[in-house]
Structure 1
């Protein structure tokens, strides 16, 4: 399996000028990473989580347009990987939805981007 690295930009204008297609979900993911820089931690990514911290054991998933029911389905699918990585807090960042629930000791939190960026 070939692993491709993701490219993120601090300057969103540069990204938009270099990319032919304008994909809001990728732009939103880049915006989430820009907010994570304030934690001054090393973040990793895989196919399950957009970003996760091995130190704080928190994973972040940017889901700008998913509704709560679809997020709960996705949470159940990624639960085994979260437990495998020792992640006990998964945060879904959306445009406006908010919720919180637990599955097998893992807290899943759905928060809006504005709340996330202001430090929830």
Structure 2
């Protein structure tokens, strides 16, 4: 999925395209986040979807929907990231960092960002 930043805020450049590789919907909080990579260092971050316009939903049909907390939290994820251990990744596990880069590169290879 390709998103275009509507705003220039820390981590985003207005008008820049971002490859989104996850959507987190928090119905109980009224929030929706896009999972993108931060410009400065490439760190995966959740950014409020309100800062983006949707450009392309390439391969969105291959994403998996996961519901938690009686359906109050919905996670849309490319099938490649369904079993990814974000806790280990965020703890700095080198194997998970390599796995993230492998999966991200695989998804990105057929996407064309401007």
TM-score exceeds 0.5: no
Interval containing the TM-score (normalised by the shorter chain): under 0.3
TM-score computed with the length of structure 1 as normaliser: 0.25
RCO comparison, higher one (Cα < 8 Å, 6+): 2
Q: Which protein is richer in helix relative to its size?
A: 1
TM-score computed with the length of structure 2 as normaliser: 0.25
Q: Which protein is richer in strand relative to its size?
A: 2
